[in-house]
């Protein structure tokens, strides 16, 4: 039996999504194969172990009794110390179900590397690049992947009028405004005019010092999942049909606010192109384990554009990632198991590399 730490919560605007994802993941993992060690990270960043994990995932970490927990930075014997008595729990692997900063951006991945602990998902560099939309899009451009035009603004919260003028010189309305380092569509807005753009910029800068503005594409929204390390596999393609004007936070996480068409009703050659581009995007950032890739299919031209890659996609019952793999013949329990297997394979591969010149 493998002892697996499932780490959830986090110091991020996506804290609530993480709790739901963690609940779905824990329910999918076979208790005959995995001993689950639940580790919560509060909104303030404290690591805790809830005494009642179901209540913690349902009601929040602040409303349940918890013990302090810390990761042991010992590559020879990775594990946790728990409680005031500092009892030891050895770990075989960790599965971070953390969306956004401090969990999906390479921060916690670096901690796992120092601790010598196998972990699910992308490594430090790929996680950081996948979280930072500016760096991600730069690598996509270097790899020759087609994208919408975009503009990045840094430290402009105090000069919104100047930022608006710069954007209006580059793009026609509407435009999309996004914090560079958030996911789950948090802080994203579609601006139709100058007043809306100013509001969108102020809201986005409240979450991040960097904001990305993207040209509008009249397009259908497609997604697919990727699994693997050196040889990634790609799922069937899904189309997202949101009830709102675009695929925002409310549409993603409110029942009845979106629909998935799986497989997407697109020509076979377009589906093949999406899947090829998904694998290319995965490789472009040197991703590992699992990811979800998002695309636009332009209505007028039929052109496929890469939108972004998400290195820890939502794992809730409403999320696209488990749904597209279910449609590809990989049910959620097997999907979760495969992600853990890939983590162990990647760790074993890394351990075979030399750390000394002798």
Residue 243 has a pLDDT of 72
Lowest mean pLDDT segment, chosen from 2-6, 101-105, 267-271? 101-105
Tens digit of each residue's pLDDT (9 = 90 or more) over 95-112: 999 998 899 999 999 999
Residue 244 has a pLDDT of 61
CA 293 – CA 308 distance, rounded (Å) = 6
CA 4 – CA 341 distance, rounded (Å) = 12
Residue 273 has a pLDDT of 98
What superfamily does domain 130-146+218-349 belong to in CATH?
Answer: ATP-grasp fold, B domain (3.30.470.20)
Tens digit of each residue's pLDDT (9 = 90 or more) over 142-151: 999 999 999 9
CA 239 – CA 259 distance, rounded (Å) = 8
In CATH, the architecture of 150-215 is 2-Layer Sandwich (3.30)
Q: Tell me, what DSSP letter sits at residue 61? A: G
How many C-beta atoms surround the C-beta of residue 193 within 10 A? 9
Q: Tell me, what DSSP letter sits at residue 119? A: B
Cβ pair 43, 11 in contact under 8 A: yes
Tens digit of each residue's pLDDT (9 = 90 or more) over 151-197: 999 998 889 999 999 999 999 999 999 998 875 466 789 999 999 99
CA 7 – CA 141 distance, rounded (Å) = 33
DSSP 99-116: -STTTSSSHHHHHHHHHT
Query: Which whole-number Å values give the CA distances from 87 to 61, 68, 90, 317, in the listed order?
Result: 21, 11, 10, 34
pLDDT band at 14 (very low <50, low <70, confident <90, very high): confident
Residue 183 has a pLDDT of 58
pLDDT above 90 as % of the chain:
85
What number is the average pLDDT over the span 209-234?
96
Residue 185 has a pLDDT of 61
Q: Where are the domains of the chain?
A: 2-119, 130-146+218-349, 150-215
What number is the average pLDDT over the span 111-128?
97
Residue 239 has a pLDDT of 97
Tens digit of each residue's pLDDT (9 = 90 or more) over 270-324: 999 999 999 999 999 999 999 999 999 999 999 999 999 999 999 998 899 999 9
**Higher-confidence position of 252 and 267:** 267
CA 22 – CA 336 distance, rounded (Å) = 11
What number is the average pLDDT over the span 71-84?
94
Residue 256 has a pLDDT of 55
CA 187 – CA 132 distance, rounded (Å) = 14
Looking at every residue in the chain, the average pLDDT score rounds to 93
* Three-state helix/strand/coil letters over 125-182: HHHHHHHCHHHHHHHHHHCCCCCCCEEEEECCCCCHHHHHHHHHHHCCCCEEEEECCC
Residue 107 has a pLDDT of 95
In CATH, the architecture of 2-119 is 3-Layer(aba) Sandwich (3.40)
Residues 6+ apart with CB under 8 A from 38: 5, 6, 8, 22, 26, 49, 50, 53, 56
Tens digit of each residue's pLDDT (9 = 90 or more) over 34-76: 999 999 999 999 999 999 999 999 999 999 999 999 999 899 9
Cβ pair 287, 309 in contact under 8 A: yes
Residue 253 has a pLDDT of 46
Q: How many angstroms separate the first and last alpha carbons of the chain?
A: 36
Residue 353 has a pLDDT of 74
């Amino acid at each position: 039996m493998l002892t697996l730490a499932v780490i959830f919560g986090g110091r991020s605007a996506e804290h609530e999504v993480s709790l739901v994802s963690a609940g779905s993941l824990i329910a999918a993992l076979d208790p005959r194969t995995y001993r689950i060690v639940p580790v919560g990270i509060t909104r303030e960043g404290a690591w805790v172990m809830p005494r009642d994990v179901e209540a913690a995932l349902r009601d929040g970490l602040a409303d349940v009794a918890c013990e302090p927990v810390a990761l042991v930075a010992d590559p020879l014997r990775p594990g946790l110390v728990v409680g005031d008595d500092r009892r030891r729990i050895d770990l075989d692997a960790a599965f971070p179900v953390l969306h956004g900063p401090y969990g999906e951006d390479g921060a916690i991945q670096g901690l796992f590397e120092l601790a010598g602990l196998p972990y699910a998902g992308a490594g430090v560099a790929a996680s950081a690049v996948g979280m930072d939309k500016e760096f991600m899009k730069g690598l996509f451009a270097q790899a020759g992947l087609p994208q919408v035009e975009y503009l990045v603004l840094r430290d402009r919260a105090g000069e919104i009028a100047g930022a608006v003028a710069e954007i209006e010189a580059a793009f026609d309305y509407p435009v999309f405004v996004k914090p560079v380092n958030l996911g789950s569509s948090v802080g994203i807005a579609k601006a139709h005019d100058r007043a809306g753009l100013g509001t969108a910029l102020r809201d986005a800068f409240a979450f991040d010092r960097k904001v990305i503005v993207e040209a509008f594409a009249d397009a259908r929204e497609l997604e697919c999942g990727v699994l693997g390390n050196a040889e990634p596999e790609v799922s069937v393609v899904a189309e997202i049909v949101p009830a709102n004007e675009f695929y925002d936070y409310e549409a993603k996480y409110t029942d009845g606010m979106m629909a998935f068409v799986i497989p997407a009703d697109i020509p076979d050659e377009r589906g093949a192109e999406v899947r090829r581009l998904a694998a290319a995007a995965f490789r472009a950032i040197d991703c590992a384990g699992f990811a979800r890739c998002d695309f636009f299919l332009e209505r007028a031209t039929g052109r496929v554009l890469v939108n972004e890659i998400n290195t820890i996609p939502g794992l809730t019952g409403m999320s696209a990632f488990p749904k597209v793999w279910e449609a590809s013949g990989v049910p959620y329990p097997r999907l979760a198991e495969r992600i853990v297997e890939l983590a162990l394979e990647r760790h074993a591969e890394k351990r075979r590399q030399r750390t000394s010149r002798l």
